[in-house]
Structure 1
Amino acid sequence: MAYGLCTENQPVKMPEINETPLPSPDQGRPIFQPWHSFDPAHAQWIPTRSSLPGDPVQPVHEKDTSDLVLVTWNIDSGAERAKDRAAALITFITDIEPKVDIVFLQEVSRSALEQILSDDRVRQNWFSSEGGHRSWGTRSFSTATLVSKTRFASHCDPGKSNPSLGPAWRVKYPSRYARDALFCDIFLSSPDESTPSSPITPTRLVNVHLDSLPIKPSFRPQQISILSAFLSAAGRGLVAGDFNPVLEEDANLVEDNGLTDVWKSLRPQDPGYTWGVDGTKRFPPARLDKVAVLGLKPTNIRVLEPQVLEQPSSYIPSPEGFTSTDDVPWSDHHGLLCSFSQSLNDAN
């Protein structure tokens, strides 16, 4: 059992496996990790306890029932000026209206994570799945999830708002690149949550960067099957990120695993390209990034175009990526913004 510090210096107990609805162990075992909140008194990110399915529901006055807004973005770990690009992306995301509640990032390099966690806006307004890169092992980049303190409450502040923040964990699935899936549960409103004793069930969110390149045999079918099993165990949720559908067999993997591709559902006539749009890639434009749902009602989805960083005249290339004299895009991927209803009745 792992312990840490809550934002109020209360003990943080990591959830037991039997407290979180999970599929059979052959689908992968969860490696739980704490959420983190920045503690200005100690000038560091510290663990904060999330809510669990057995925790009593706290009644909340003037509950915000508007749609939840998710942004997912592969931020390109290999390009230069990682910190500058990360800072620009955070500025862009925090300026979006209506406000973003959940941020999924893929290909977050260690220097980009350092920049994100040092940003005062992130420190003040967001919970982070990462307090550093400890959960990444030896990998040079990975995934990270941010959730808004304005919309979510941790167990340390259960009466602040609804929905509330549940446990977070990673699952290592078969991968040529030692990649994993980053999960978290959130607890949304339902008609039965009017009393503190009412049980609540999770909505599961999964941040993914599936294996890259058209290499056969591909692990992507097995990866999506595992993700679907974890969503089915919760009963509802979404998986979003870089799906890398670069083989013909990838075309219907989402639907074949019982999930709904939000882009196909809401914008079937729009190609929705998120990569290769500028025509500079070896391969044609593609919709590599997706949001797929189970038991949720998506209400909107759109592509977010990356802007560019101008090269300052005094710029000296750093060793963290490839260098050039051209302006540097925030990423080689476009992002996606997806809204979904937090009312459980809407999904029925």
Structure 2
Amino acid sequence: MATNRVWRALSAFNPSTRRWVPTFPRNAMEQTRQAMVPQRFSLISWNIDAFSSRAVSRARLILGHILEVPKPPDIVFLQEVTLDVRAALLNDARVRVAFLTTDAEDETAFENVPFATMTLLSNARFASSLEAPQEATDGVEGEDKIVLGRVSRIPLPSKYRRDALCVEVVRPSAPGSVARLINVHLDSLWHTLHYRTQQLEILSGVLRERGCGGGIIAGDFNAISREDEALVDKNGLVDAWAALHEWDESGGATWGVGVGRRDRLGRGGRLDKIAMVDLKAEEIEVLRPGLIEVPRPGEKSLEIPWSDHCGLRCTFTI
């Protein structure tokens, strides 16, 4: 069996929260040279839809769509991960071989909630202190790997017990500062706008704390109203889609695209977003889900999308 490199997401502000000890280059000149070179990363975020039929099969199709490409992403943010889907992800050979995965040691984050978030980081680009020093610094195209710092779940005011999954990463060439990768699923529906307002204000503050050199907030923002659309700018965050597609902001719709809904939320919303502080967005695109067949006893099978959300792929530099 392939070695499964994992790290665990623990509660924020807990003194026992795990920290990895970074491994830094020994040569000061090399350190300075690396600090001057931006590193490029690709991220895919996808709400995989916990409530539609065949959740595990749909999640596997989404995972295949994400990973079975010539150059898989460095970072994967997933929302609405159920316990069954979590188990399928952790048992997938592609994940076990190529990724470090949150929530692999226990089910703490999934207690008393119908689903949670998970983050996967490519072990070709990221390393923990548990790896040998020579391996931890052997990245892609001669770059040092990014070293994992603290992993935590930031508690948020929420009707639905939502939190934010935050991974701190450290460039060996810049050990005095961390960047934060925050995976979110903000509160849902119209009547929780006040919660989403508080949630995004808290998380934008996390990216500006002392010792943090910026970072990214990505996932399902549940941005269903005009008031939601203003929250990213209001909190001084750069909306990657708006920054790169000012001429076609409506093209970034990630929810309800060609999909009928049982509720009254409308169609074609840009619910999912990627926002950042002190990072530079290079490219962003919407990833459309395919279809899966759902058998119906005594009736013709029904085809449904892999998810009621599209995914987002973004390339950015640190």
Counterpart of 2:180 (choices 204, 207, 213) is 204
Q: Is contact 2:77–2:119 with CA below 8 Å preserved after alignment?
A: yes
Deviation of 1:136 (Å): 2.4
Alignment of 1:235-274 (within 5 A): 235-270=213-248, 271=250, 272-274=252-254
Spell out, residue by residue over 1:227-267, the C-alpha distance to the aligned partner (whole angstroms, 9 max, x if none).
01111111300000000112332121011111110100001
- After superposition, the CA RMSD in angstroms is 3.1
Counterpart of 1:71 (choices 29, 36, 44) is 44
Spell out, residue by residue over 1:14-43, the C-alpha distance to the aligned partner (whole angstroms, 9 max, x if none).
99xxxxxxxxxxxx9535887xxxxxxxxx
Q: Is contact 2:193–2:228 with CA below 8 Å preserved after alignment?
A: no
Counterpart of 1:109 (choices 75, 78, 82) is 82
Q: Is contact 2:9–2:165 with CA below 8 Å preserved after alignment?
A: no
Counterpart of 1:177 (choices 151, 154, 160) is 160
How many residues align? The count is 291
- CA gap 1:279/1:141 in 2 versus in 1, 3 angstroms: closer
Q: Does 1:331 align with 2:314?
A: no
Counterpart of 2:316 (choices 331, 336, 340) is 340
Q: Which residue of 1 aligns with 2:112?
A: 138
Deviation of 1:188 (Å): 2.8
Shifted more, 94-103 versus 207-216: the winner is 94-103
Deviation of 1:279 (Å): 4.8
Q: Does 1:303 align with 2:278?
A: no
Q: Which residue of 1 aligns with 2:142?
A: none
Q: Is contact 2:218–2:274 with CA below 8 Å preserved after alignment?
A: yes
Q: Does 1:224 align with 2:185?
A: no
Alignment of 1:14-163 (within 5 A): 29-31=12-14, 51-52=20-21, 55-58=22-25, 67-131=40-104, 132-157=106-131, 158-160=133-135, 161=139, 162-163=145-146
Q: Which structure has the highest helix share of the two?
A: 2
Taking structure 2 as the reference length, the TM-score comes to: 0.82
Identity %: 37
**Could you say what secondary structure the match of 2:126 adopts?**
coil
**Could you say what secondary structure the match of 2:200 adopts?**
helix
Stretches of structure 1 lacking an aligned partner (at least 5 in a row): 1-5, 16-27, 35-48, 318-322, 343-348
Q: Which residue of 2 aligns with 1:278?
A: 258
Taking structure 1 as the reference length, the TM-score comes to: 0.76
**Could you say what secondary structure the match of 1:114 adopts?**
helix
- CA gap 1:217/1:276 in 2 versus in 1, 3 angstroms: closer
Spell out, residue by residue over 1:36-91, the C-alpha distance to the aligned partner (whole angstroms, 9 max, x if none).
xxxxxxxxxxxxx7534xx4414699x99752000000000001111111111111
Deviation of 1:224 (Å): 0.3
> Which 4+ runs in 1 deviate beyond 4 A?
12-15, 31-34, 63-66
CA distance in 2 between partners of 1:168 and 1:254 (Å)? 24
CA distance in 2 between partners of 1:80 and 1:32 (Å)? 40
Q: Is contact 1:164–1:188 with CA below 8 Å preserved after alignment?
A: yes
**Could you say what secondary structure the match of 2:58 adopts?**
helix
- CA gap 1:203/1:298 in 2 versus in 1, 3 angstroms: same
CA distance in 2 between partners of 1:13 and 1:330 (Å)? 28
Residue 51 of structure 1 aligns to which amino acid in structure 2? Answer: W
- CA gap 1:81/1:149 in 2 versus in 1, 3 angstroms: same
- CA gap 1:50/1:59 in 2 versus in 1, 3 angstroms: farther
**Could you say what secondary structure the match of 1:215 adopts?**
helix
CA distance in 2 between partners of 1:237 and 1:230 (Å)? 9
CA distance in 2 between partners of 1:109 and 1:13 (Å)? 17
Residue 98 of structure 2 aligns to which amino acid in structure 1? Answer: N
CA distance in 1 between partners of 2:165 and 2:8 (Å)? 19
